[in-house]
Structure 1
Amino acid sequence: MDILPANFTTGLSGVQPTRSATRQYATAAVAMHWLMAFAIVGLFAFGLYMHDLPLSPWKLRAYSWHKWAGVSIFGLAVVRLAWRIYNRPPELPPHMGRAERFIAHSGHSLLYLLMFTIPLSGWLMSSAKGFQTVLFGVLPLPDLLSKNKELGDMLQTVHWSLNLVLAILVAGHVAAALKHHFVDRDDVLARMLPRLGKSR
């Protein structure tokens, strides 16, 4: 379950990260992986739920929670990417062919990209629709765009479309992990399970 191609982080930082000598992921990497996973799935489900709610104070409150949760996920994604740059994951299993490795790297790179672009598109949409994002209900964040209904509607479509792409990628990610565990019988899934994460 390598996250990004080997040359990606080198290009960002100019420093070659150290490849882990162990087959396990670090405890911090495991914790961030599962925290992000549950947060993204939960926020996606909550977004589906609130979308069809009738206009009411509860719907407005739900949208507010959804927005600050999205901003929080954006912050977690920044932390996770920073960790990833300086802490390379274990090598992929040697039995994986070039095509399979390319798919794995590409899929993980797209997941990272969406972890940033989806919250950003939601923030832009909220700004264009004239609704300020207030983090945790107490810290107003600056609007990124001036109010513009047409642009807001377009960004809403973009935000929804990106979420659908994310759902497909997550489903593929889960399917690949299960394939590694039950078909290939390697340790790709096992080494990311919380009970097997080790500090380093």
Structure 2
Amino acid sequence: MTSLIRNTPTRYGWITILLHWTVGVLFIAQLALGIVMTKLSSQRTAFELIQLHKSLGFLLLGVVVLRLGWRLTSMMPELPAGTGRLERLVAPIAHFALYALQLALPLTGWALVSVSVLEIPSMPFGLFVMPNLPFGSSEAAENFWTATHAYLAYVGMALIGVHVLAALHHHFWRRDSVLVRMISPSRRCDGRKSE
């Protein structure tokens, strides 16, 4: 059982898999919530969704930090043998961009609530008051961080789309183990095409 927890040269372990899908679900939920809460006419509902968005953002930041720590201290499975040179070059860049966005989006959101002139305290899930980042509040700063947060969200949507398409390409077109090994460590992950 312990052999299924950690990564090996051919597959991901349960910790990597659970962190990957937790971050993925939170990230996509945050993008959807961010769009919905800005389109609502009801200020009360919008306020409640903004508070949920902030709570999930702090949770996402914590899980991403855990994921990065695990990534830096764990071996990563090798790409399947048939992977081309260009893909071997692009894959790490794309993953770096995804990690960077997973950190940047919650951090810019935290910066946004820290500089907001409304000065509404952030209370993740109503449990405690999250201190603001040490930035001065002003309308100009709020506009800057709002725009930055929004643009990064659109970049995040595009990167997630590319990531999903790449995984589906590997699974259905290349028929290799790239997607399967991120679902379960007990699945066949030897990198060979199925017969």
TM normalised by structure 1 equals 0.84
Matched, 1:162 2:152: yes
Aligned pair partner of 2:8 in 2, 5, 20: 20
Deviation by residue 1:150-200 (Cα, 9 ceiling, x = unmatched): 1101110100000111110100001111111111111111111147479xx
The CA RMSD over aligned residues, in Å, is 1.9
Matched, 1:183 2:170: no
Distance 2:17 2:7 in 1: 16
The alpha-carbon distance between structure 1 residues 77 and 194, as it changes in their structure 2 partners (threshold 3 A), is same
**2:120 — aligned with what?**
131
1:53-64 aligned at under 5 Å gives the runs 53-54=40-41, 56-64=43-51
Distance 1:98 1:135 in 2: 44
**2:192 — aligned with what?**
none
Kindly provide the amino acid, as one letter, of the partner of residue 123 in structure 2: V
Kindly provide the amino acid, as one letter, of the partner of residue 79 in structure 1: L
**2:56 — aligned with what?**
69
Gaps in structure 1 of 5+ consecutive residues: 1-17
Gaps in structure 2 of 5+ consecutive residues: 1-5, 189-195
Distance 1:127 1:88 in 2: 37
**1:52 — aligned with what?**
39
Distance 1:75 1:106 in 2: 23
Question: 1:44, CA displacement in angstroms?
Answer: 0.9
Aligned residues: 180
Query: Relative contact order, CA 8 A, sep 6+: which one is greater?
Result: 1
Kindly provide the amino acid, as one letter, of the partner of residue 174 in structure 1: V
**1:99 — aligned with what?**
86
SS at match of 2:81: coil
TM normalised by structure 2 equals 0.86
